[in-house]
Amino acid sequence: MRMSVIVPVYNVADYLPACMDSLLAQRCDDWELILVDDGSTDGKSPKLCDEYATQHPDLFRVIHQANGGLGAARNTGIEAAKGEYLLFVDSDDTLAPDCLEQLSAWIEESHADMYVFGYLYVTEQGEQPGEARLSELNGRPVTLAQMPEMLLDSPSACFRLWKRELFADGSIRFPGRVWYEDLCTTPKALLRAKSIVQKPNVFYRYLLRPGSIMRNDNLRRNLEILNALETVRAYYESEGALDQYRAWLSYLAVDSVLAAARRVLLSDPNADYLPDFLNYVRKEYPDYRSNPLLPRLGKKKLILLRLLEGRHYKLAQTMFHIVNKLK
């Protein structure tokens, strides 16, 4: 079988039909769909999964399990998959109708370990804030060593087609019940992949909605980005690749903690854990200020970095509010 599409499901009865409609509209035959009901409690999502499987028994498989989080649901799908390649689709998102057909054609061209494609962010009102910007889009197979800037692209698992062999030995899996599970996982697969292809085709529509994980009000959970960054750093060290990619991982750490700290600052500049973000960078990458990649951050992020270094948190919040009003 060419592809397995893995869809974790948790209390998304209002959104699942649109996701399923986009998958059923695919112009491709050689694939399977695995719905992993991750202990839904809404009374509707599990029934919807079973109804789709009953209506399309040759295409759908449903797995019901106790709640373990998004990462655990994906891992269940990985273990059950029969396809040579894996595509992860969140249950509130949708695919372009030619997605699987085009991915299948790409596989025939190059048989790469990973394919990266474009995506759109879409609001519930149908607005499109912007689309993906990938590091290079010439479509030729490359390795991370040839293009280390791929570490700086969005780590989302959903904007990639993964060869199942990347997960074969069990050392790469998505952590369960955490934020930033993609950041924990994708950089490891990038290092392992022998060939990666990036193309500009926009296949994925990512729904921005209030109930999604990254729009959650539990601000302290942004600290979990530090665990994700450390997981990646430790993996590269264990693979003997830390020195080779140190500058890129240092930049990734700075850019990531700026994003997480910004989410906290916008709501609570008095949060007592705000220093923890930059303290991690100082501990693991003490020379981050001399990193030649740092100017890539751009003027706004460099100003934010200065404010965090000086612990000027309220000033940073004021700056964000002013910028937002000027937009």
Domains of the chain, first to last: 3-215 (3.90.550.10), 219-326 (no CATH)
pLDDT digits (tens, 9 = 90+) for 132-170: 666 666 789 999 999 999 999 999 999 999 999 999 999
Q: What is the pLDDT of residue 133?
A: 67
pLDDT band at 128 (very low <50, low <70, confident <90, very high): confident
What is the 3-state secondary structure of the chain? CCEEEEEEECCCCCCHHHHHHHHHCCCCCCEEEEEEEECCCCCCHHHHHHHHHHHCCCCEEEEEECCCCHHHHHHHHHHHCCCCEEEECCCCCEECCCHHHHHHHHHHHHCCCEEEEEEEEEECCCCCCEECCCCCCCCCCECCCCCHHHHHCCCCHHHEEEEHHHHCCCCCCCCCCCCCHHHHHHHHHHHHCCCEEEEEEEEEEEEECCCCHHHCCCHHHHHHHHHHHHHHHHHHHHCCCHHHHHHHHHHHHHHHHHHHHHHHHHHCCCCCCHHHHHHHHHHHCCCHHHCCCHHHHCHHHHHHHHHHHCCCHHHHHHHHHHHHHHC
pLDDT digits (tens, 9 = 90+) for 261-317: 999 999 999 999 999 999 999 999 999 999 999 999 999 999 999 999 999 999 999
**Range with the lowest mean pLDDT among 236-240, 293-297, 322-326?**
322-326
What pTM was computed for the model?
0.94
